[in-house]
Amino acid sequence: MDVMWLRSSTLEVGVITYGARIVSVRTPDRDGRWDEVTLALPDLDAYRNASGYLGASVGRYANRIAGARFTLDGVEYRIPPNEGENALHGGPKGFDSYDWATDGPDGASVTLRHTSPDGDNGFPGTLETAVTYAVDGPALSITYTATTDAPTVLSLTNHAYWNLAGGGTAEDHEVQLHATRVLPVDDRSLPTGPPVPVEGTPLDFRSPARIGARIREGHPLLTAVRGYDHAYVIDGAPGELRPAARVVEPRTGRTIELQTDQPSVQFYTANMLGGTLVLRDGITARQSDAFCLEAQGLPDAPNHPDYPSAVLRPGERYVARTVFTFSTE
């Protein structure tokens, strides 16, 4: 597959047009040894045939829409369901399954574009979307922009799976999330109401904690989704770039810090990877072999008027920015 490379002295990122996805991120550990820190598949055919959204741009609507339907301006829209009765990451044949257009990398950045026509997967409005990946020293920034010719709903994110150890389990990674609240979910991973405090629960990552320390506790919010797969409402004002997460891998010293202007970050411990997905190194991926930090709008927001609005109207410009900064300690 044709990989477009973005490089600095401490970071290498590979991007392909299929799904506007990240297929490689390499950075050194505390001793200067470089390694891959994101899960990836061996070739393009594997990406076209695999589930899991590895490294992909997902949309039109990241995460889930309950009942695969929503009402906007008094009109109900229906999306083909692709997870039981619900729509996940925009429904079948979402943004992750298209070849995006690009002029190729320009130095340390690349912009990819995709047009989603009116009615695509049931969503209204013709949407003109772009994503720019840029490497600047230790930082990888991801910027989504979009415009529409009719009112629609929109939430875009990248679905990279991270393992800062370069392989093996991710349960020893120490995670800190700058969030005092999280969305409660049911066993379909759908939010059941307004955000609730993390205090006093195994979902509390306000102070650093190992992924594996509490993942098997019998708390209902963990057992519902077989681990962590929750939208953490990031402290501070949405629309402003602010700290959202910090993760440390103690053995290698690698760290990743996340800033975003989005309302939430979905912290996901790869609960659906069951050992059938073969990665580029021939190893199979299992639960907790990686984690995702998906900066996005709140899941199912089109069906929750009390959540931050996910509506985009003609004349407005959607912008979603995320920055991952890699370092060592």
Q: Domain residue spans in the chain?
A: 4-167+263-328
Indicate whether 14 pLDDT > 90: yes
pLDDT value at position 151? 98
Residues in the chain: 329
pTM, two decimals, is 0.97
Mean pLDDT of 1-16: 97
pLDDT value at position 107? 85
Confidence tier at 195 by pLDDT (50, 70, 90): very high
In this structure, what DSSP letter does residue 191 have?
A: B
Indicate whether 311 pLDDT > 90: yes
Confidence tier at 102 by pLDDT (50, 70, 90): very high
pLDDT value at position 275? 84
Helix (H, G, I), strand (E, B) or coil at 297: coil
- Cβ(225)–Cβ(185) under 8 Å? yes
User: 40-78: per-residue pLDDT in tens?
Assistant: 999 999 999 998 999 999 999 999 999 999 999 999 999
Mean pLDDT of 271-288: 91
pLDDT value at position 35? 97
Give the rounded percent of residues in the chain with a pLDDT score beyond 90: 96
| Block residue for tokens 């506007």 | 20
d(CA 84, CA 94): 16
Mean pLDDT of 22-39: 98
* CA quadruple 235, 241, 242, 245: dihedral sign: positive
| 176 Cβ contact partners less than 8 Å away, ≥ 6 residues apart | 205, 206, 207, 208, 209, 245, 246, 247
Confidence tier at 295 by pLDDT (50, 70, 90): very high
pLDDT value at position 128? 98
d(CA 292, CA 279): 16
Indicate whether 302 pLDDT > 90: yes
Confidence tier at 231 by pLDDT (50, 70, 90): very high
User: 114-151: per-residue pLDDT in tens?
Assistant: 999 999 999 999 999 999 999 999 999 999 999 999 99
Catalytic residue among 114, 159, 173, 178: 159
d(CA 32, CA 252): 10
Active site residue 240: no
Q: For residue 89, how many other CB atoms are within 10 A of its CB? A: 27
Helix (H, G, I), strand (E, B) or coil at 95: helix
| 132 Cβ contact partners less than 8 Å away, ≥ 6 residues apart | 109, 110, 111, 112, 141, 142, 143, 145
Q: To which H or E segment does residue 24 belong?
A: strand 21-28
| Block residue for tokens 């103690």 | 250
pLDDT value at position 274? 85
**4-167+263-328: in CATH 2.70.98.10:** yes
| Block residue for tokens 């994101």 | 38
d(CA 326, CA 270): 21
Confidence tier at 106 by pLDDT (50, 70, 90): confident
Active site residue 219: no
Q: What angle do CA 225, 230, 262 make, to 5 degrees?
A: 155
- Cβ(205)–Cβ(176) under 8 Å? yes
d(CA 184, CA 194): 8
Indicate whether 244 pLDDT > 90: yes
pLDDT value at position 45? 96
